[in-house]
Amino acid sequence: MALLVALTIQANRGVSAPAGESYKQTADGLEKEFEVFLKAYHKGDDAGMDKGFGVFRIPNAKEWFAANFSAEDAERLEKTYAREFTDAQGSLIEDMNRAGAGNKFGLHCEARGDVAGGTAKGEAMRPAKPVRVEQFLLEFQALGTREKFLFMANFVYVDGAYRFVGGGGGPFWGKM
């Protein structure tokens, strides 16, 4: 539990990808993006996990939401995003712990295609302009125990890296 609390505190500090670092906009690029996080997990390095997962945070999220949504929606989304991001990191670590705490993990990413970027029916928030959201099925395997688990995630590609915007069926703003 202390690990999760420490990760939550670090994730809320807004750690993101180092300036100038970029990854291919492919499933292989996404796998490469996870490497720092997975290595840190194996070492039990909390700060390294935060840094490694931080690459998936939208840099300058407040400005990004303001550029892509109405002013009213952008403010609400930016606040909700911090919680969504922290919850995703915590959930992934919990799944990894169940599959084999302390193990090295292999990762295979499979592109599932683009998903509607907030065009859900009802009261869901919608981007003011088109936002490309790519969905991936992530298969993690603990190399020691051979246990596997799947993690469905949605990303936008911003500033040379995939940025997490929700799990499951679509971006988090389509579920609000």
**pLDDT tens for each residue of 14-51:** 444 444 579 999 999 999 999 999 999 999 999 999 99
pTM here is 0.85
Please say whether the beta carbons of 85 and 57 come within 8 A: yes
What pLDDT is recorded for position 123? 54
Going by C-beta distance under 8 Å and a sequence separation of 6 or more, which residues neighbour residue 29? 23, 162
Q: What is the largest CA-CA distance in the chain?
A: 48
Crossing angle of the two packed helices 46-54 and 27-43, in degrees rounded to 10 = 170
In the chain, the percentage of residues whose pLDDT exceeds 90 is 73
Give 163's Cβ-side CA count (13 Å radius): 21
Mean pLDDT across the stretch 102-131? 82
Q: Dihedral of the CA atoms 31, 36, 42, 44 (nearest 10)?
A: -140
